[in-house]
Structure 1
Amino acid sequence: MDEERGRPAKRPTIADVAALAGVSRAAVSKVFNDSGRISEPTALRIRDAAAKLHWTPSSTAVALRKTRTQTVGLVLNRPGELEVGATSSLLISGVESVLTPRGYGLLMYLVDRGLDEEARTYQRLSDNRRVDGVILTDSRVGDNRFSLTRSLGLPAVLIGTPWENDVIPHVDSDPPGAGVDDSVRHLVELGHRRIAYVGGPVDRVQAVLRRITFEESMSAAGLVPTATVATDYSPASAAAHTAALLRREVRPTGILYGSDTMAIGGMQAAREAGYSVPQDLSIVGFDGLPLGVWVDPALTTVQRDAVQRGRIVAMRMLDLLGESLEEPPLLSRPYLVVRGSTAAAPE
């Protein structure tokens, strides 16, 4: 009892024990869950701190831990193409680098039959108790997965930005359109005035926010976009739209794309139409995939760390599950990497 204030004293927490022992919360958790490797002197120091504070692990938390699957789910919706793209592969490697050392596995599903089948997949994961929580990707306008996972009691973390500040733990660049403004500024400084944008579909939050950033950046430069195109993220679609833009009477001299693979598709379409990159057309991608340095010319792109995003979202996921991890690092802001696919605007 706090005699001065006349109310019960605050119950000590695992963070208090960690601070007194001079260790991380993860170390305290490992000692009391008999998991991981902690040196005997450190373990003794932790137990001594817990005794001084009269702290013991929550019986509810211990019981929940015993019923867990030690598995995190990831459902990727890829209509018409059951494949994992380059960016998703990097994200997954980041997720695995956090989960695996802590004894967790990743259960991945590829769904190609639309949103209803995706919702049924989450339902099955919950009904069969296959996973302890799920990682969500590809944030959508009016996304119903947030309310669905809440109703199913599935802890969830989103890689991306929720539409209109929907309440869900998430990890994304801040601001979400970061890097697009730098790309526009780069082309304007090179003398480009006719600039187009070929991005993702209208139902993807990421694509919408980048398109808004593009239009605002063009307006700030006193320019009007030559075109803004919304399509899927495939290189084939990007190539088709690029060819159409280059057939216009007033064609763009610079094009920004929503992904590196789209930009590479656009580069090929420009060549097939008889235009040289970057002499006739400057091209900027987005994602900073390793593949970008191997195309000719090397791709100017917005670099972001997909592996880091995967690591951070996995840390947030384990934190939701009651695992005591160190505080996730701040996510790096995307930045422009200038290579050979951009040059001065043609006269």
Structure 2
Amino acid sequence: MTTPTTPRKPRGSGRPTISDVAALAGVSPGAVSKVFNGTGRISEATAERIREAARKLSWRPNAAAIALRTARAQAIGLVLSSDTKVPGVGAGNMDFISGIESVLSPREYGLLLNIFISGQHDENHFYRTLAERQRMDGIILTNSMVGDTRPELMSRLGLPAVLVGAPWKPGAIEYVDADPPGAGIAETVDHLVGLGHERIAFVSGPKDFVLPVLRREAFVQRLADHGRQPHSVIAVEYSPARAAEETTALLAGANPPTAILYGTDTMAIAGMRTIQAAGLRVPDDISVVGFEGLTLGEWVDPPLTTVQRFAFQRGRAAAAKLLTLLGETVEEPVPLERPALVVRGSTAPPP
């Protein structure tokens, strides 16, 4: 008489295996594999029994093995474009990256950060290398540029991609952004004009990035709507040091502005420090407005008036759209709020 075989338990000194899960659930290892790979037909009752066995044994499928079986790397690439010689993530991108991770992490996708430096990298070679290494299933691109060729390049490489920000060519690539791209500019101009400012300057972002171009156009147009012209519109890289330099130049003019809008909050904070170092007061002598909505802006003196851009939401929206392109199901809605002006202590009527 043959004695029935009892389900095999994992050894106390080793990690549980797929066979241990199969034995506890009373199924074959192949059935366990089908449930966790999402392949084949397994009844929901059996699938739940398998998942329960896995939970009891604290077993998780091997990510590398799954990648080999499914031809997926389970990783998403993020490319931050920079026009500075020293690569950096930047304070404004931290919430954005957190938003991406909040969507990827629960689905066991990794995030691979890459920084493209204009003038130092050959663009075609840079992206082709990323695609050929096959370390990512798709890619999130940032900072659309004037004459941007990346959408066509991604198509040729067969690499699913989502752009954060309005594309140079409409329809060329999937993207996420607030509509319109210059949102927040009109509200800022209205606020400053309403306070009585007539000499308003804009120290914006790089000349070759699409978003700063659109913001500069929106800035000039909104002032024109009020029957006014800008004091000055300056295109510089997203750099506190460059913002300080341009602020110094503006203050040295014969008729300096009474209000300055900056392309980022860190640029605005650098501008405030420069203004104060020159013996002037913010906002009594010059009003200052930033663009991003960093928490840091609440803690400077005076607190920074800024355009809140909801970076965390943009990160979530970009990740969700890319996963959808990869065939994943993202059930929860991902809101994308329009940028909004947050008025604090750095703006007041002109002297």
Give the TM-score normalised by the residue count of structure 1: 0.80
2: distance between equivalents of 1:289 and 1:316? 25
Farther off after superposition, 326-335 or 187-196: 326-335
Deviation at residue 75 of structure 1 after TM alignment: 2.1
Indicate whether 1:119 and 2:124 are aligned: yes
1: distance between equivalents of 2:114 and 2:173? 21
In the alignment, what sits opposite 2:135?
Answer: 130
Farther off after superposition, 150-159 or 122-131: 122-131
Deviation at residue 120 of structure 1 after TM alignment: 2.0
Deviation at residue 275 of structure 1 after TM alignment: 1.1
In the alignment, what sits opposite 1:308?
Answer: 313
In the alignment, what sits opposite 2:246?
Answer: 241
2: distance between equivalents of 1:81 and 1:294? 27
Amino acid at match of 1:197: F
Secondary structure of the corresponding residue to residue 215 of structure 2: helix
Deviation at residue 246 of structure 1 after TM alignment: 1.2
2: distance between equivalents of 1:231 and 1:73? 27
Secondary structure of the corresponding residue to residue 157 of structure 1: strand
In the alignment, what sits opposite 1:71?
Answer: 75
Indicate whether 1:335 and 2:340 are aligned: yes
In the alignment, what sits opposite 2:59?
Answer: none
Q: 1:276 to 1:66 in 2, by over 3 A?
A: same
Deviation at residue 116 of structure 1 after TM alignment: 3.8
Alignment of 1:134-145 (within 5 A): 134-145=139-150
Indicate whether 1:227 and 2:232 are aligned: yes
Q: 1:295 to 1:188 in 2, by over 3 A?
A: same
The CA RMSD measured in Å over matched residues stands at: 2.4
Structure 1 gap ranges (5+): 1-29, 45-61
Larger relative contact order (C-alpha < 8 A, sep ≥ 6)? 1
1: distance between equivalents of 2:176 and 2:251? 37
Deviation at residue 113 of structure 1 after TM alignment: 6.1
Q: Percent identity?
A: 55
Deviation at residue 320 of structure 1 after TM alignment: 0.4
1: distance between equivalents of 2:69 and 2:194? 56
2: distance between equivalents of 1:84 and 1:63? 28
2: distance between equivalents of 1:67 and 1:340? 54
In the alignment, what sits opposite 2:3?
Answer: none
2: distance between equivalents of 1:248 and 1:182? 27
1: distance between equivalents of 2:68 and 2:230? 54
Indicate whether 1:100 and 2:105 are aligned: yes
Q: 1:237 to 1:63 in 2, by over 3 A?
A: closer
Farther off after superposition, 334-343 or 82-91: 82-91
Q: 1:121 to 1:278 in 2, by over 3 A?
A: same
Q: 1:142 to 1:115 in 2, by over 3 A?
A: farther
In the alignment, what sits opposite 2:215?
Answer: 210
Higher Rg of the two aligned structures: 2
Amino acid at match of 1:89: M
Count the aligned residue pairs. Answer: 297
Give the TM-score normalised by the residue count of structure 2: 0.79
Deviation at residue 121 of structure 1 after TM alignment: 2.6
Amino acid at match of 1:202: K
**Does the CA contact (< 8 Å) of 1:282 and 1:341 recur in 2?**
yes
**Does the CA contact (< 8 Å) of 1:284 and 1:341 recur in 2?**
yes
2: distance between equivalents of 1:328 and 1:207? 29
**Does the CA contact (< 8 Å) of 1:77 and 1:118 recur in 2?**
no
Deviation at residue 31 of structure 1 after TM alignment: 7.2
Amino acid at match of 1:178: A
**Does the CA contact (< 8 Å) of 2:67 and 2:74 recur in 1?**
no
